[in-house]
Amino acid sequence: MDSLKQLTDAFYALKEQGWREAMYCPRDSHWVQFIEAGSSGVHVGYRNDSGYWITTDNDTYPSSPILYKEKSTEQEAIAKINETFKRLLEFGYTLEVRPSKSGKSVVLDLGFVFLALGVFKTTSNSLLNTFTSALSDLYSLGWKKATMCPKDEQKRQFFYLGFDRIKEGYRAKEGDYYLEDIGSSIPPTLYREKA
């Protein structure tokens, strides 16, 4: 019964974040996000008269999703993640360079930093769910953890948690980041290929 309660709690938490039952997804082939039962990721795909379709590895596959959500615009996703991040900091979360060094428990690995919360504090699941949902929105828009950025000096776009502006720059062969307007930089949170 505990598992059923956890499933129900997760379902309603996702509904609070804008997810709806997949059977209500329009059959007009516009791109949305899907969650499949048994899958830990959010998939991008569409629904048409022949069924549900997701994209993986540059190919399209039939799917049986349980929930769907309209794709956020980049500005909406950045605003949502930054607002939620601000609220998490107010709640007592911190960014830690090294996990668990300061008696805090790591809640989320963000690449170069870890979102952590004091061991004796209780977490706000709704707030953390909103944050991870916004992060998923950014991943679905092509953003990746900055730790995965190739060290090839190719121009890319970078996102810093807490900042509204997207910066352009590159990652040098030695691993440092260089941004056009400020030179050498602290590591960003996310990166993506230039559009």
More confident residue, 106 or 130: 130
The pair of structure tokens assigned to 30 is 């516009």
pLDDT digits (tens, 9 = 90+) for 150-194: 999 999 999 888 887 788 999 999 888 888 777 777 788 889 998
Residue with the two structure tokens 């998923």: 136
- Residue pair 74/109 in contact (Cβ under 8 Å)? The answer is no
The pair of structure tokens assigned to 122 is 């209780």
pLDDT of residue 151: 93
pLDDT digits (tens, 9 = 90+) for 22-73: 999 999 988 888 999 887 678 888 899 999 998 876 678 899 999 999 887 8
Q: What is the dihedral of CA 113, 117, 123, 127, to 10 degrees?
A: -40
The pair of structure tokens assigned to 11 is 């379902």
pTM to 2 decimals? 0.64
List all residues 6 or more positions away from 58 whose beta carbon is below 8 Å from its beta carbon. none
| Domain layout of the chain by residue ranges | 2-70, 74-140, 144-193
End-to-end CA gap in the chain: 48
